Chains A and B, each alone.
Chain A
Amino acid sequence: MSKKNFYIIAATLAVIAAVAVIGLSTRAIRGTTLAPTEGDGDRSLTVASPSATYTVTPMATASAAASATATATPQQSESASPDAGQEVRAYLLASVGGMLYEPIPLVGEDDYVITQKAAGMENVIHVTADSIAMASSTCDNQDCVKQGTVSLDNKDTRVLQNMIICLPNGVTLELLTPEEVEELRQSIAAEQ
């Protein structure tokens, strides 16, 4: 067997190691797709649950960023905010169709339903105060349901880390700590 084979395999392993290192060091980098400035109303996401209905808007758009600096109220987008007295330990960051939505604070056990009416897609997310899991999905492979629960305890050790991904429906869920939400806001503000 020619030495080339070992070189090729060694090179491949080196590439894998490089990707892993890049992956671990750029965990917070995300292609923030911000909503176009027009038609924001149509783009807001309705997240229904038995106890409340959240209308979640896409994260700061070019025009909204300017107004956000003026108002500077990070949680302004939730029409039904949870009890202010309760300390929020984790947030659910959802991205639907490549668009990032305002993080939803998790206050207790609940089921959130993300519906994409036009495509007939529905994802049900079971949340507790410190965890998220895809309870059901209308997708064909059910990979997102099989990905299990992301909690504050396991989010750094899972293969998919803090994410649950439903590729067919274009839904990604992330569990963020309040600090990570703050970092995300700052990185988005820096991009503007």
Chain B
Amino acid sequence: MARNAREQSQRIALCGLLVSLMLVLGYIETLIPVPTAVPGIKLGLSNGVLLFALYLLDIPTAFVLMILKVGLSGLLFGGVSAMMYAFAGGLVSMAAMSLLSKVKGVHPITVSMVGGVGHNIGQVGLAMLMLHTAQLMYYMAILMLVGLGTGAVTGVVANSVLTHMKKMQHKK
């Protein structure tokens, strides 16, 4: 019982760390210049953190972390509209990633790439709904391609962290 409580508080502390890590990464992202010709491009570094949570914690926890990240960064940096679009993107991305992460033999980097694509589908999809226009399809395709690339980058980072974390866990 005591051990259980200890594990639980470790878990809560870890979740708090992960959320704050995502918030900091989200802020750092705004400092990285992106090409203005394609609005809406960002690295999505917190995607890597969510991938990490998906593999080392569990799916519901990862979803809660995503919601916390979106809500808090919306209050801190963005605004209500930014929060809405980030939430739509996060939801689609997390749904895709949690499904794929359960499939045997799928590499975390692949999961991350699909997550990056999913994020942009969610965001631009919501924009198309809000603006009542299907004209953004071409733009969505470009963002999806970008998401594939940035998903690969964050996937590589998260994957190397994951392999080391697994080694540490085995040593315990």
Contacts and interface: CB of A to CB of B under 8 A. Distances in A.
A146 B143 CA distance: 17
Given A160-B139, A161-B135, A146 B79 contact: no
B76 interface: no
Interface in B123-172: 127, 130-142, 144-145, 148
B141 A23 contact: yes
Contacts of A52: none
Interface string B73-94: 0000011011001000000000
B141 A20 contact: yes
Interface residues of A, number: 42
A24 B106 CA distance: 32
Interface stretch (A8-16, A60-68, A105-113): A8-16
B107 A2 contact: yes
A147 B39 contact: yes
A140 to B, nearest CB: 4
A140 B81 contact: yes
B20 interface: no
Nearest to A172: B131
Interface string A1-34: 1101100110011011101101110110111110
Nearest to B148: A12
B127 to A, nearest CB: 6
A143 B104 CA distance: 41
A4 B105 contact: yes
Contacts of B36: 146-148
Interface in A106-161: 139-141, 143, 146-148, 158-161
Given A12-B148, A20-B138, A161-B138, A170 B131 contact: yes
A104 interface: no
A7 to B, nearest CB: 10
Nearest to A8: B110
Interface string B89-113: 0000000000010011111011001
Contacts of A32: 132
A57 interface: no
Contact of A30 (B110, B114, B134, B142): B134
A122 B104 CA distance: 52
18 contacts: A1-B107, A4-B105, A4-B106, A8-B110, A8-B114, A12-B117, A12-B144, A16-B144, A26-B134, A30-B135, A139-B81, A140-B81, A141-B79, A146-B36, A160-B136, A161-B139, A165-B39, A168-B81
Interface of B: 36-40, 78-79, 81-82, 85, 100, 103-107, 109-110, 113-114, 117, 127, 130-142, 144-145, 148
Interface of A: 1-2, 4-5, 8-9, 12-13, 15-17, 19-20, 22-24, 26-27, 29-33, 95, 98, 139-141, 143, 146-148, 158-161, 163, 165, 167-168, 170, 172
Given A16-B117, A159-B38, A170-B130, 18 more contacts: A2-B105, A8-B114, A12-B113, A16-B141, A20-B138, A23-B137, A24-B138, A29-B135, A30-B132, A30-B134, A30-B135, A95-B132, A140-B78, A146-B36, A147-B36, A161-B138, A163-B136, A168-B79
